[in-house]
Structure 1
Amino acid sequence: MTNLSYQIGGCELDCKLMSLKHADNSIKLSSKVFELLMLFIDSPDNVVSRQQAIDNIWLGNEGVGKKGFTNGIWVLRKTFKELGVDDEVFNTLPKLGYQLTLEVQPIEKQVSSGKSRTYTRYGAIAAVTVALILWLSLNHLGTEPPKMKPEADLSRQAKLKVTNYGGVEEHIAVSHDGQRMAMQWRDNSLSGKIYIKELNQADAPLTLISFENNEEASPAWSHSDEKLAYVRIDQQAGCQIRVRNLLDNTDQLIASDCFYIPYKRIVSWSGVDDNQLIYAKKMQDRVALMAYRFDTNLHQQVSFPNKNEIDYAPKWLEGDRQLAFIRERAASNLLSLVLQDGAGLEHELIQNSPSIVDFDYSAREQLFYVNNVDGAAAIISRIRADGSQLAPLAQPGLPSSISLSDNNAMLYVTEHISKEYITQQAYDDGKQLRRISSSSRDMYGKYAKTNDNILFLSNRSALWSIWRNNKVSSKDITHTLGNVGVAAVSPVSTDFAVNIITDTGQTLYIGNMESESYRAIDTQGIEADNLSWSADGNSLYFKGFAKENNGIYKLNVRSGALELITQQQAVYAIEGQDANHLYLSKFDQDGIWHLDRTMDKMTLVTDKLAKYDYGAFYFEQGYLYFLSRDAKRDAVMRIDLAAAEQTPEMVQQFPPDAVRKFFGLSPADGHSFLVTLKLANEADVYGYKLMTK
């Protein structure tokens, strides 16, 4: 077997990282530019015509492809020049296209005896896909007797590429007649827009349905396919539910109190007419589903979550007599797929899962298709209303939005191309001091000051595990204990705290990175999430919930003493200069708050921390460090808490949307910080042809 690397004109192309490197310089290529370069490498005499590129990379879309091809040639020339290659990269061949003139040689490293082969990216992807399918098949045939004889595995069905525009195509929704797909398209910008794609006309241009300068997402077709409901985030970060009439191009505001976090589906329509829709509404301490009727202009609550629970992704079934939705427990990793009947009784089809992403329902098959994760593998589960399951569909991409068309017998899925890596960056000069990366997803690094190790979350093994990096190598230290959450490392020892999730539930453990031993911690019936340590290493802070006693807790891991700190909607807390001064982020709110426990006073410090970066801040040497985002950049900022004017100052900046959400920033050795960055952030839509009986 060979490495997926090529030598091109003195530069090295790393196909796993989609980057070109020369000496100490490395430049990341976008997925379309990378595909274009690979097309040159794979083509006879390294010659590619414009039409060949349009057909292979942009799926025949002339408008997008012509511009993309020209831009791709320019980007590749510029990239090689920036890496010090002065030779001409391409020759122009009249009536033929372009020829890559730089010498191309595969870089081979033998890892086993036998005849060597050179694999292109297509062979590599096929190999990974086959391995994943085999693993799923073996896992399915375990020692547990099956509840039922599974039907044919859907992974054998035809898979079609539906979009290939560059950027991220998300929030997909297929019209009821199966002719059109609405989606959010985001291309090199933080603002996503709603577009409509004609599914039966491959060369038809996308139709933009709104021209407002706002983030728009979560489109949903009305029963007649004549209207489109969607979410708009206005300039003041307010969440609006709006309806666009596609016949007369009018736009109507329905509600200004909805709840939105990127990639969550928020709104849908009645299954019987255009008179009613349903959306997720933000309340004081929970998110509930609200129904709106157009004939009466009335809003009525139709789901009833407990405190700190979030209901979203609604879908009416069976003539609006049943309601299916996802329920998330207080921004934790535990989600349930709920089916509610006309009397309001709830039945959980999937209970307390860490990984439900989206779902849709086939009325023809009477079957739920659920995009989720099994271990560390992305799958699409197929579940009946009684909870019984059929064989799943394996997918090689990261799980995201899903939409089903009974008319077309097609299942449409967004598959993300995303890899993360961790880097240690110096405060003073911004120099990269250390990097942890692999062909898998490595994220949320936590620095151990006692031995300079870094713990991080990775799916390199069959599960999401905690790995330890000691500058020489990385090792899985939670092994097969179960899927894990984000670790918190003790500031005074080699201990760390982590939640481990198994089929029986979630358990908090204290582990030791040297001995790899673990002991369960009694949280006294309270589920603990979003962990951090006290400065003395004796206690853990966490967001806990148990019935109505939700809030930030402090647990002494030696004595077992448990203290409720605050119930003011906080989701993550860290110690400041001492145990009487805490800094908190809050549920569904931008900002960081200071809690002075001596005065029992809560004060907003900054509103520049996004609500989905609730764990991306820390206190160090009198400064509060945090992640700030806007359309131009992601920035690590800090505030001198002793200064009279607590004005944020920039420490270092990155490209927009480059830092992974939630826990993307953490402290290191006092002179540097750890940040989780994304190697790629693109998504395309694929279609699976379903079996018809």
Structure 2
Amino acid sequence: MKVNQAFSLGCCHVLPLESAIKIAEQEKQSLQPKFIEVLHYLAREYPRVIPREELINQVWDGNDYVGEKGLTNAIWHLRQKLNAVIEDGEAIETIRKVGYRLLIQPQWNKAVPEPAETSFSPATDTGINLAQKPKLPLTRILLSLCLLLTLAGIYLFNQPRGLPQAKIIPVTKDPGTELFPAPSPDGRYVAYQWRTPSGTSNLYLKDLQHGKVAAKQLTFDSASEGHSVWSHSGNYLYFARYNSKQETCDIVQLDIALNQETNLTACPATGGYYYMDISPDDKTLAFRGSEPGEEHSGIYFFDLKNRGQKPKRFSCLQNCGYKDRDFAFSPDGRSLAVTRRVNRFNENLYLVDLTTKAEKPLTTGEEDIVGISWHPQGQYLVYATQRADIRRGFILDVNNLSKQDIGIEGFSYPAFAKQSGALYYHQRKENYQLASFALNMDVATSPFPLLQSEFSYLYPDYSNTSGQIVYVSNESGFYELWLADADGQHRQQLTQFKRTIRYPAWSHRGDKIAFLAPTPDEQKESLYILDVATHKITAIKAPFSRYNRPGWSPDDSAIISSVPHDNGQDLFRFAIDSSSYQQLTNDGARYGVMISDNEILYTSLNKGLWYKNLAGNSGAQIKIPGNIFNGLYSWHYFQGSLYFKKSLSKAQQLMHYDFANKQLSTLIRLPRKTFQGGGSLTMLASEHKLLFSSSRSPQADIKQLAHPLFN
């Protein structure tokens, strides 16, 4: 599609010939040409709704495979740029199951005249003698030529050096998910974790010189092995082995040639992600760990030359205000790139001097870092981020802190081969839909999709009073609050927070919604209340910096939430019209529901479902033991019945417990990952259905990115 006419959208000037936009007095910002073409077409057809198929046909010449992902990526990036300068609402509207519409009337600049098409030649000319044509002055010709060369140079300089000039080479494409690539130093082999559709996970080794040969299995057990790293000699592979049944974790060295394992030291049996890296001199193995009694996990160094010594903690230990998560040694061995998490909404990259521990911030405004790796020459860091379950990759110049968007959807956990410089990553896209399960069927049927699209929908809560579902959707690039009717129709966006919102909960009267989100500076978390009628949002007044998912007291006068405090983490009651609060439990409670003015059901790290009478002096009582009730959040209490998710090794079950009769029953057995991890259940009482977030098992594959910047 030919694009050359400039136009304006409010204070944003779109310059198609330069593939750039200019906002007010700011410097020009380059965009991928395809993004500009999409915006130009939306502007040209304003205010018409443009079907997705039409945009793909116009911009990608009908290439559906590339266009489907490319269009989603383009709309996301355009919204990121335009919404930041639009005062009222969105710049581009998504029309569900149809397409997109530009909401700002474009103002077109004077059209650039296109040269007339001619086929002039002396033999066919009948009107003008070539010898009689006026000659331009030489200085004017030279000036025109210089101007053309300057414009051409500006145009080429501003072209993005991302995906259009890069080459993607598939490495794996097996069923299930292949995660966390670890290339050997020479780039010949890639080790990775393969999670089969049945749920087992082990480490595998792919020989890239024999691409058609099946990957070799390296580990054979029921434990989990994920992140791994090679020694620079290429002789050993290091990884963590976590056994959930035995609640043990070991750091393991695998001799590749002999296929012989050696347990080096213990690692914590909690934490989930066992990040790992090795120093350039092969002397120090770094891993994420913790010691008993420590406030939080951190980076530990293990001396590979003196294996009898205990690992030493490198990270801050007390009163830190953050915790270190992922890390990577610089190629010269002098620094460590570290991701530091302040809270679940704030994680950024830092460069830490290994000798002095002096630190330098490398990024700001990120929410979740999902992988970092150094280019062997040490100038660039490649890292990936995740916000609202949308993953993106960046190339960061550590000298001037400029960064470039790689432009690959789902890019995460990059890893460079230390010697060859080849870059590998795993590509994975999360997607969640809202599904319902009918409880009044004689024969259990599979859950039925209620809301599904290319976007993700999470944490539904239904109000039997208002007859509406509140949930979060990432279609704006952030998880914002949305409303829908019980059948998923008449959707309405409630917030323009431009920060990630989680865990919405209806008040019993159906007039307010409590939710969790970061403070404007994203340094802390806060509980917020939205008045549905006025859309006014207020924050709970309390001195805590972290909260968990909220619930309401029976009279709607207070919010119930779990918060960390000096002696652990417990449920508190927060009055909504004052700054008063009250601690309700003292046994590590994580999520609770008040079933009367003085009774509460809750979950804690002690496993199982617990009950406490707040008016009495008796302690908590267990209602359902942990071997049956093995989750923290995916459960719902309704009129004397409890519905909850039970996780098995290779499946999930939806369970029902009748409190009056003390009867437990299985409603349906479902495949693993049917329920979104940590998701919520809610009851549509009028239709006798349960509503929940259902995950689509993502196909994650290992790929190689050949980027011109690294050649």
> What range describes the TM-score normalised by the shorter chain of this pair?
0.7 to 0.9
Q: CA contact under 8 A between 2:673 and 2:697: conserved in structure 1?
A: no
Post-superposition offset of 1:244: 1.4
- 2:188 aligned partner: 179
Post-superposition offset of 1:271: 2.7
Q: 1:246 aligns with which of 256, 261, 266?
A: 256
- 2:468 aligned partner: 453
Where do 1:361-376 residues align within 5 Å? 361-373=374-386
Q: C-alpha deviations, 1:392-426, integer Å up to 9, x for none?
A: 222222x5422223544433221224422111223
Q: CA contact under 8 A between 2:569 and 2:590: conserved in structure 1?
A: no
The 1-side partners of 2:77 and 2:54 are apart by 23
Q: CA contact under 8 A between 1:582 and 1:594: conserved in structure 2?
A: yes
Q: 1:302 aligns with which of 314, 323, 327?
A: 314
In 2 relative to 1, CA 343–531 (structure 1 residues): closer, same or farther, beyond 3 Å? farther
- 1:314 aligned partner: 327
In 2 relative to 1, CA 268–622 (structure 1 residues): closer, same or farther, beyond 3 Å? farther
1:540 matches 2:556: no
Post-superposition offset of 1:275: 5.3
- 2:369 aligned partner: 356
The 2-side partners of 1:657 and 1:333 are apart by 24
1:561 matches 2:569: no
In 2 relative to 1, CA 318–251 (structure 1 residues): closer, same or farther, beyond 3 Å? same
Where do 1:96-135 residues align within 5 Å? 120-132=64-76
Q: CA contact under 8 A between 2:172 and 2:701: conserved in structure 1?
A: yes
Q: 2:679 aligns with which of 644, 660, 663?
A: 663
Q: CA contact under 8 A between 2:655 and 2:664: conserved in structure 1?
A: yes
Post-superposition offset of 1:453: 0.9
SS of the aligned residue for 1:297 comes to: coil
In 2 relative to 1, CA 321–668 (structure 1 residues): closer, same or farther, beyond 3 Å? farther
Q: 1:684 aligns with which of 676, 701, 709?
A: 701
- 1:410 aligned partner: 422
Q: CA contact under 8 A between 2:542 and 2:580: conserved in structure 1?
A: no
Post-superposition offset of 1:175: 1.9
In 2 relative to 1, CA 370–648 (structure 1 residues): closer, same or farther, beyond 3 Å? farther
The 2-side partners of 1:221 and 1:450 are apart by 58
Post-superposition offset of 1:592: 4.3
Q: 1:422 aligns with which of 434, 438, 444?
A: 434
Q: 1:190 aligns with which of 193, 199, 202?
A: 199
1:498 matches 2:528: no
Q: 2:529 aligns with which of 492, 500, 510?
A: 510
Post-superposition offset of 1:286: 1.9
* Structure with max Cα Rg: 2
- 2:501 aligned partner: 484
Q: 2:393 aligns with which of 359, 374, 380?
A: 380
In 2 relative to 1, CA 323–467 (structure 1 residues): closer, same or farther, beyond 3 Å? same
Post-superposition offset of 1:487: 1.4
Q: 1:464 aligns with which of 479, 487, 497?
A: 479
Q: C-alpha deviations, 1:307-359, integer Å up to 9, x for none?
A: 796543232336544333334457x3333434433334554444674322222
Q: 2:278 aligns with which of 265, 269, 282?
A: 269
In 2 relative to 1, CA 648–578 (structure 1 residues): closer, same or farther, beyond 3 Å? farther
The 2-side partners of 1:547 and 1:226 are apart by 46
Q: CA contact under 8 A between 2:636 and 2:682: conserved in structure 1?
A: yes
Post-superposition offset of 1:664: 4.3
In 2 relative to 1, CA 562–386 (structure 1 residues): closer, same or farther, beyond 3 Å? farther
Q: C-alpha deviations, 1:246-272, integer Å up to 9, x for none?
A: 12221122334424555x342222332
The 2-side partners of 1:353 and 1:547 are apart by 28
In 2 relative to 1, CA 111–335 (structure 1 residues): closer, same or farther, beyond 3 Å? closer
In 2 relative to 1, CA 249–192 (structure 1 residues): closer, same or farther, beyond 3 Å? same
The 2-side partners of 1:221 and 1:230 are apart by 9
SS of the aligned residue for 2:209 comes to: coil
Q: C-alpha deviations, 1:277-333, integer Å up to 9, x for none?
A: 433236444222222224232222221344796543232336544333334457x33
Post-superposition offset of 1:477: 1.2
- 2:633 aligned partner: 615
In 2 relative to 1, CA 276–261 (structure 1 residues): closer, same or farther, beyond 3 Å? closer
The 1-side partners of 2:52 and 2:158 are apart by 40
SS of the aligned residue for 2:685 comes to: coil
TM normalised by structure 1 equals 0.73
The 2-side partners of 1:422 and 1:130 are apart by 25
- 2:209 aligned partner: 200
- 2:619 aligned partner: 601
The 1-side partners of 2:452 and 2:56 are apart by 29
Q: CA contact under 8 A between 2:653 and 2:669: conserved in structure 1?
A: yes
Q: C-alpha deviations, 1:657-692, integer Å up to 9, x for none?
A: 221111243444384322211234211122222313
In 2 relative to 1, CA 584–268 (structure 1 residues): closer, same or farther, beyond 3 Å? same
SS of the aligned residue for 1:601 comes to: coil
Post-superposition offset of 1:459: 1.2
The 2-side partners of 1:488 and 1:381 are apart by 35
The 2-side partners of 1:291 and 1:344 are apart by 14
User: Percentage identity across aligned positions?
Assistant: 17
In 2 relative to 1, CA 536–411 (structure 1 residues): closer, same or farther, beyond 3 Å? farther
- Residue-pair matches, total: 573
- 1:651 aligned partner: 667
1:629 matches 2:642: no
Q: CA contact under 8 A between 1:174 and 1:180: conserved in structure 2?
A: yes
The 1-side partners of 2:375 and 2:564 are apart by 35
Q: CA contact under 8 A between 2:601 and 2:609: conserved in structure 1?
A: no
In 2 relative to 1, CA 121–166 (structure 1 residues): closer, same or farther, beyond 3 Å? same
- 2:692 aligned partner: 675
1:401 matches 2:384: no
| 1:231 aligned partner, one-letter code | A
SS of the aligned residue for 1:121 comes to: helix
Q: CA contact under 8 A between 1:193 and 1:216: conserved in structure 2?
A: yes
Q: C-alpha deviations, 1:365-409, integer Å up to 9, x for none?
A: 433322113677532233455783312222222x54222235444
- 2:163 aligned partner: 155
- 2:550 aligned partner: 531
Give the CA RMSD over aligned residues.
3.7
Q: CA contact under 8 A between 2:369 and 2:384: conserved in structure 1?
A: yes
Q: CA contact under 8 A between 1:259 and 1:266: conserved in structure 2?
A: no
SS of the aligned residue for 1:125 comes to: helix
Post-superposition offset of 1:360: 1.9
| 1:631 aligned partner, one-letter code | S
In 2 relative to 1, CA 652–255 (structure 1 residues): closer, same or farther, beyond 3 Å? farther
Q: 1:170 aligns with which of 155, 179, 183?
A: 179
The 2-side partners of 1:546 and 1:228 are apart by 40
Q: CA contact under 8 A between 2:349 and 2:362: conserved in structure 1?
A: yes
Q: CA contact under 8 A between 1:528 and 1:543: conserved in structure 2?
A: yes
The 2-side partners of 1:114 and 1:185 are apart by 34
| 1:449 aligned partner, one-letter code | N
The 2-side partners of 1:329 and 1:110 are apart by 39
Q: CA contact under 8 A between 2:236 and 2:254: conserved in structure 1?
A: yes
SS of the aligned residue for 2:210 comes to: coil
The 1-side partners of 2:494 and 2:691 are apart by 20
1:211 matches 2:220: yes
